[in-house]
Amino acid sequence: MAGGSDDSAGRRRTPPLPWTVRIQLAALALGHRQDGSVRRLLFYLGDLKSGASSRPDASGVRSADVTIDASHGLWARVFSPPPPPSDDPVPVVVYFHGGGFVLMSASSRPYDALCRRLCGELRAVVVSVNYRLAPDHRYPAAYDDGVAALRYLDAGDNALPVAMPVDLSSVFLAGDSAGGNIAHHVAQRWAASVSAAPARLRVAGAVMIQPFFGGEERTDAEVELDRVPPLTVATTDFYWKEFLPEGATRDHPAAHVCGGGVEIAEAFPPAMVAVGGFDLLKDWQARYVETLQGKGKPVKVVEYPDAVHGFHVFPELADSGKLVEEMKMFVQEHRSKNAA
């Protein structure tokens, strides 16, 4: 494993990382210009895709694509684990990929591999939502698509392509970066809606991996960790500009989810928030945790001091494996006791 590097003041600027990870992070950096904007052609060429496969992989996981809303081009990739030894229903994890609301998809190789891994390790059906991307589809399109995915599951009119019963009282939302932001807002919307109109589907928990939150203020972490791969302040500013309504600032409620004025529904589920020590977003994530705690909501924080933004998609990193184990314990703790 390669050692980390320090700046002129002796502060660590990058954590120790394997050379394979460093090369991939460097490639991501090349996909952005100095002003933070995306070199779209490079990203599209580098965003290799994986197809769904009905044949089980080495872990026994199968996948299939389903259409959620043809009018919006909304679909999801469904991963199913090997059938359990009993007929007990399995939990469901609805996953939202990262990419600053602008990049990647449910079929991007890193996310196909991650969701396969979660499916096998958590013994859960994973529904990876291919939500619409900005700037063609700005706020609130991604949130609308997340809620549409839950309504699709709640309706039950179209059976999921899995060979086992699923437990709709044990549905977990999960996502990383922008997907973590989506998981929060979809959890909030669903919690508010079920208070008015009860649903079969119960969101039992929300896992937010280095969620993408922000504001007009520059935090200490943003100043100190600017240009630590793969994120820069300029890049995050670009993503917000692409996603938020035209003319909106980063204090828009979609980005700024901390403080006493933030609404958290009474039925908002237990949360788990993963924070990386080398992630320039970590101060916003800490404030988000404080907001949930201030509202009396149960929240579990898992911290990885040497983790960069996006560490979880690199299975060769020990912290990635630790995160999957934490997610497994979180699902086991909060899934429906009747189903368990």
Amino acid identity of 201?
L
Per the DSSP assignment, residues forming a β-bridge with 175 are 96, 208
Q: Is-contact 287 207, C-beta < 8 A?
A: no
Amino acid identity of 202?
R
- Listed in sequence order, the residues at least 6 apart from 49 whose beta carbon sits closer than 8 Å to its beta carbon are 105, 107, 108, 109, 112
In degrees, rounded to 5, the angle at the alpha carbon of residue 106 between the alpha carbons of residues 326 and 312 is 30
Q: Is 177 a catalytic residue?
A: yes
- Listed in sequence order, the residues at least 6 apart from 135 whose beta carbon sits closer than 8 Å to its beta carbon are 102, 242, 243
5, 177, 195, 336: which is the annotated catalytic residue?
177
Q: Is-contact 124 331, C-beta < 8 A?
A: yes
Residue 304's Cβ-side half-sphere holds a number of Cα atoms within 13 Å equal to 26
Measured from the Cβ of residue 8, the count of other Cβ atoms closer than 10 Å reads 6
What is d(CA 234, CA 8) in angstroms, rounded to the nearest whole number? 22
| Selection from 240, 243, 232 nearest residue 216 by Cα | 240
What is d(CA 222, CA 87) in angstroms, rounded to the nearest whole number? 49
- Catalytic residue numbers? 177
